[in-house]
A and B are shown apart, each in its own frame.
Chain A
Amino acid sequence: MRLDDRSAGPRPGFPRMIVFDNVTVAYSQERPALSGVNLTITDGAFTYIVGATGAGKSTLLRLVYCDLAPTQGAVIVDGVRLDGRRGCDVPALRRRMGVVFQDIGLLPDRNVYENVAFALRVIGAGHRKIRRNVPDALELVGMVHRPDAYPRQLSGGEQQRVAIARALVNNPPLLLADEPTGNLDPDTSMGIAEVLDRINQAGTTVVVATHDQPMVDAMQRRVIELSRGRLVRDEERGGYGASISDEA
């Protein structure tokens, strides 16, 4: 499936991309990282997960990409019930989603094209698919003009765009981003937000965990707020929320 083949709106068969059914995650005997969370994210939606540091945003994303198993409850992603890392086929699941992190950047000894192509090569894609998909992904994030640049030659925002291209290059129906604008200035953050919006317009379900108040306020998309592991707000079109302060 080419990026431009992906039409907007829910795909037939899987209208609900992500379902959390009364999910609790407890790392220790202390306060659980997530507690009794119920939520549904439909296919093709754009959702911000907001909350203070330690609210449970990253834990929620880790459950979706099967890096963590719920202590109680069930997580269903793209029709697959995830029963923890042992129970699910992690590689197969992750090929159906893209993940962008603030702290896992690009490989410094490879150029932009090679960094994006790397994601296809490790899943055994052939040269034809790489030649076709990599420029498409770079086009989508606005980096098609710098395929030969190395990460050290790029700004923080450009590096993050390439990381998003890498997450998208296999045309996954779901994109997860954990603090994608963490180290970026406001203007650059807005640029990344626009890229994510464009990706969503192309039909990809996008879930972004963020601290970036101006970005969330400006985009006015669905906002799910977590506080101390509990879901405290779920607005169809909302802002960051004035009451959020760090809980760590």
Chain B
Amino acid sequence: MFHTLVFVLEEAGKSIRRNGLMSFAALSTVTVALMVFGGSLFGLYRLHQFVASQPGRFRISVFLHVDQSRAATLELARRMRGLPGVESVSVVTKEQALADLRRKDERRQTNITAALGNVNPLPDRIDIRVSPPERSTAVADSLRDSKRYPQIEAVRDERALLEQLLATSRLVRNIGGSIAALLFLATGVVIQNTLRLTIFARRREIAIMRLVGATRALIRGPLVAEGVFYGVIGALLAGIALASVLTQSSRYLGRYQTPLAQGIPPGPSVPIMMGSLLAVGLILGAVTSWMAIRRFLR
């Protein structure tokens, strides 16, 4: 067993060294393929994160009757916190609402609050965030039941926009997932074809091994080890290149932060990205080299 393992590793190492040009071609192809795969996957994941974060920014606004007492408002807010799916509840009193309106007046240079004189016609409001956002419509509908909630005057939930966003999020997730799967397959095919070339260069060795009674596992061993080497080293190089490109570009794009981009969860960290890429490289290297050898063992 020990001799076999030594043989497998030595042969893989010798083959990589002896076929220098072929090894370089294989390694650079694997690196570029994994860079394209990793970069595209990162882009798709960030797009998905962005789209998926948008519905979470929506809230249900519940307007109470103007004549409600503050105590009744706070009691209603307390009841709402217990509703299933409700993540957070915040009370906006009529005084706060009027102050907000004044600020808007100043910003927009309008005179709505001045026209009101000393009367505050605004009601207390309760803002609710729902998680997951898909439950938003059900929560809003239950609040519209005037028998259970006679204190409520109106409920605004912007359901049409929310549903559009949720549909977009699903679409991005599904299309992104399909593209990622296709890219994975394409990367696998590229790596397999490259490894097939290196195996073709060693066909005489394989023929001799078969003639002298080497088992299939032993013939595969050095070639799979070689495939794993290209996969792992290619992933490492692709990871380093991607990490530096993404770090630089996010630093550059960071200067152009828009309100739209705020609140998106942070992207995957460099160690996680590197680890995932290494795992993909390892799996692709092993599986594709295993498959590439099959036809030479028939």
Binding site for B on A (CB under 8 A): 65, 90-96, 98-99, 101, 104-105, 107, 109, 118-119, 121-127, 166-167, 170
Contact = CB atoms under 8 A, between A and B. Distances in A.
B214 A107 contact: no
Interface in B1-49: 1, 3-4, 7, 18
B260 interface: no
Contact of A94 (B207, B211, B218, B219): B211
A54 B250 CA distance: 71
B207 A122 contact: no
Nearest to A125: B3
Interface size for chain B: under 10, 10 to 19, 20 to 34, or 35 or more residues?
10 to 19
A124 B212 contact: no
Contacts of A95: 212-213
A124 B7 contact: yes
A104 B214 contact: no
Contacts, number: 60
B contact patch SS: helix
Contact of B211 (A92, A99, A107, A127): A99
Nearest to B18: A109
B36 to A, nearest CB: 34
A49 B245 CA distance: 68
Contact of B218 (A109, A124, A170): A124
A118 B3 CA distance: 13
Given A122-B7, A124-B3, A124-B218, A104 B204 contact: yes
A107 B212 CA distance: 14
9 contacts: A92-B213, A94-B211, A96-B213, A99-B211, A99-B212, A105-B204, A123-B214, A123-B218, A124-B1
B205 interface: yes
A166 B212 contact: yes
Given A93-B213, A122-B218, 19 more contacts: A90-B210, A91-B213, A94-B212, A95-B213, A98-B212, A101-B211, A105-B204, A107-B204, A107-B205, A107-B208, A109-B18, A118-B212, A119-B208, A121-B7, A122-B209, A122-B212, A123-B218, A124-B1, A126-B3
